[in-house]
Structures are given as C-alpha cells and as structure tokens.
Amino acid sequence: MIDLYYWPTPNGHKITIFLEETGLDYRLIPVNIGTGEQFQPDFLQISPNNRIPALVDHHPADEGEPISLFESGAILLYLAEKTGQFLPCEPRNRKTVLEWLFWQVGGLGPMAGQNHHFVQYAPEKLSYAIDRYVRETNRLYGVLNRQLAGRDYIAGDYSIADMACYPWIVPYERQQQQLEDFPHLQQWFYAIQSRPAVVRAYLKGQPFASRPTVNEESRQILFGQTAKTLENLSEPL
C-alpha cells in the first residue's frame, strides 16, 4: 500500500497519473495547502520542505521499513524503478526520459509556477513580472513543441517525462498561452488528456478542487512564510 499526500495541483496530478497508469494500490491523503496543513509536524516528517506531493511506500522492494519520499520528480523516478514501468532500462533512452523529467522540475514547473503567481495570485499586478514569466512560459512551450516534432511522446515512448510535463500544460489559458501556436505540443496534449488513467487521475482531485486554494486568508499561508515558520512550529496549525 502506498500513501499519497496530495492536493490537486500540477505536482499532485503527476503522481496520481502514474499510480492510475500502473494500478498500484494507493490511498489518497489530502493535504489542504490553503489552510496550512502542509505545516503539520507529522507531515513535515515526511516532507521537510512543506510541499506536496509526498509519499510513503509501506511495501518497498527491499521488504524493509516503509520508505517516505518528497519532491515529485524523485517520487516519479522511485515509482518507475519500483514497478519497472515508464522508464527505459536502455541507457540512451533512459537518459532522454531523465533529461526531460529534470527539465520539467527545474524549468517548466518553476517558471509556470511564477507565471501563475504573478498573473493570478499576487496582490498587485506587476507588469514586468507578468511579462517576464508569460514570455518565459512561452519559450518553454516552444522548447517542448520542438522536442515533440515527429514524436508521439516526449522521449519516444510514453514515460514519466510525459506525466511530469502534462499537468503543467493543463492550465495553459491561465498561463496566457495558446496551444494552437504549438501544433506538436497540442497534438501531444490531447493524446495525453484522452488516456483513461489520466481521466481517472483528475477525477480523484475533483472533490478537493472546488475548495479555493488561494484567497485572502490563505495568501499569507502560501506566500508569506520564512525560515522562522518551521522553527516555530511546535504545535499543529
């Protein structure tokens, strides 16, 4: 059994997509990041960076004590190695999957995340920041579009690279992007969107998606923390 600590964000969706694709037995444990549940001491034992997703594998391959993981890219890599699925063994193909997995966690995700912040959530509209991150998101869409030319999936076969990238393209309209400007990406996007496991993964998040993640009350929780926050957390919020 796998416990997945989750909220319906792009990084959360990555992991439910993998779990639904493979049929691994898992339990979804919601962590409402808008109310500060990610700062609960028990959760910090699993995810010291106070971010979702996080995972506990109660039946690891070595049959030892449960293994906990944080960081979505690390979780995808762990699960792919655990199951032997969606990550090639052959070195050349494997390196391509890992390149694009790390491209997402180091590039597409952080830049699109800043896009989301300044376009949607910042208390004041800063035209320089909005323009900076909308343009950078556009550049990254172009990089992915070029990679997908002549390919059905990012690394040739469907892999954890696709699972990592797709949820960050889903909010393309809020990122002020137009899919028709990127025809190879658009074709790939609709192919992923139609996969039954992806449909199931997004349905898992629907019960929680109706709760607003960012409002005036949650803004300070999500965007106002410092190193002192964790030092002062001796009791649950």
Model pLDDT for residues 56-111, shown as the tens digit of each residue: 999 999 999 999 999 999 999 999 999 999 999 999 999 999 999 999 999 999 99
The pLDDT score that the predictor gives to residue 234 is 45
Measured distance CA(149)–CA(155) in Å, rounded: 11
Stretch 121-132: mean pLDDT, rounded? 94
What pLDDT sits at residue 227?
84
**Closest to 181 in 3D by CA, of 133, 144, 222, 216:** 144
CA quadruple 7, 2, 169, 35: dihedral, nearest 10: 10
Of 145, 142, 15, 158, residue with least CA distance to 96: 158
Average pLDDT, the chain: 93
Domains, the chain, with CATH or none: 2-85+198-231 (3.40.30.10), 91-194 (1.20.1050.10)
Average pLDDT over residues 15-35: 96
Mean pLDDT of 9-17: 98
Q: Is the pLDDT of residue 207 over 80?
A: yes
Task: Assign 220 a pLDDT band (cuts: 50, 70, 90).
Answer: low
Least confident range from 23-27, 109-113, 200-204, 221-225: namely: 221-225
What is the pLDDT confidence band of residue 222, given thresholds at 50, 70 and 90?
Answer: confident
Instruction: Check: CB of residue 153 under 8 Å from CB of residue 162.
Output: yes
β partners of residue 157: 155
Residue pair 7/167 in contact (Cβ under 8 Å)? The answer is no
* pLDDT given for residue 47 in this prediction: 96
End-to-end CA gap in the chain: 28
User: Given a cut of 90, is residue 237 above it in pLDDT?
Assistant: no
Which pTM was predicted? 0.93
